[in-house]
Structure 1
Amino acid sequence: MPNLQDVLESTLPGLGYELVDLELAQNGLVRLFIDKPGGITVEDCVTVSNHFTRLFMVENIAYERLEVSSPGLDRPIRKPEDFARFAGQLVKVKLRLPLPDKRKRFTGTLIGLEDGSVVVDADGERLALPLAQIDKVRLEPQF
């Protein structure tokens, strides 16, 4: 059976979408978060859902339910290209373990990835947070 992540990563760009996140639940739920320049509409979700429903049948990928969604305004940032694309935007960073100063959460302007660290300007302080220590990086919506 093909690797689900590989199937999604190889198929979505051809449809004009990017895979932002994939969640697999024990009850057979497959949840896809997709994006494209300009954002995602309900029609985009329907298109992707219909395509993968048929593709999963052909590829014999077992699942009970498929959900396709936009990543939302607080989109996760995971891939190296995401860090470059969203540089200059406000982000929230959560570490797996606190730093020596006991801090585990940071909000600041994303500078990018440098030498294996996520670099953020938090209140004028340049922080290099090791990628291996990162639990989550998400865009922080501004209204």
Structure 2
Amino acid sequence: MSLQQTIEDTVRGLGLELVETERSAGGLLRVTIDLPWQPGTQEQAVTVEDCERVTRQLQYVLEVEGVDYKRLEVSSPGIDRPLRHELDFERFQGEEVDITLKAPIGAAVAAGAAGPEGAKMSANRKKFRGTLQRAEPSGWQIVWSDEVAAKPGQRVSARRAPPPMHVMAFTLDELQGARLAPVVDFKGRRRPAPDDQEKVSGKG
């Protein structure tokens, strides 16, 4: 059994979800967990107690499996949470996301996603940021504009035409990776910054 599968089974056995596993320099094994989510349920946050439970159980399991590591860190997701499963995409509909395709979009898709005013898009483009939406019947799409943010103090004319919107559909099989865009909304609610994460570390 792979290390990824061992960790995933252990986390799931404690009633939690494995979001990401990462090995870093110096022997650090970083494990990111979250609470399972189902449509129609209220969002809940991982607690310090959750991280402590997972840390204790993983320390035992990794010792039994003979996994070589120097330090274990268990934490909740940050503002750039990865999206791995279909349920993740359902959960974060309407959020701004960063996606990376396995292959460039190609000339035909670039022309189709160029927007109503013909804004050019590179056929070699693989990375996109936009608002995640459901694309019927079973796919997904992101919507974005290439509007340049105004500089501090810069006056923006009320008569200026809005920038064209772009739409690009995709399937999960076409993705190399997807994450929530690390955007903080200072005017209202925001996803927790890295310093806000629940995090527990332990030695192997």
SS in 2 for 1:58: helix
| 8 A Cα contact 2:10 2:57, kept in partner | no
Q: Which runs of 4+ in 1 moved over 3 A?
A: 94-100, 112-118, 129-136
Contact 2:10 2:58 in 1 (8 A): no
Residue 87 (structure 1) aligns with: 93
Paired position in structure 2 for 1:65: 71
TM-score (norm 2): 0.57
| Percentage of pairs with the same residue | 39
Name whichever of 102-111 and 18-27 sits farther off.
102-111
Which of 170, 177, 194 is matched with 1:136 structurally? 177
Unaligned runs of 5+ in 2: 36-42, 107-120, 146-164, 186-204
Q: Per the alignment, in what secondary structure is the counterpart of residue 49 of structure 1? A: helix
Change over 3 Å in CA distance of 1:67–1:114 after alignment to 2:
farther
Bigger RCO (CA 8 Å, 6+ sep) = 2
What SS is found at the alignment partner of 1:7? helix
Using the size of structure 1 for normalisation, the TM-score is 0.77
Aligned length: 142
Please identify the structure whose Cα radius of gyration is greater: 2
- Per the TM alignment, residue 127 of structure 1 is displaced from its structure 2 partner at its CA by 0.5
Moved more, 132-141 or 2-11: 132-141
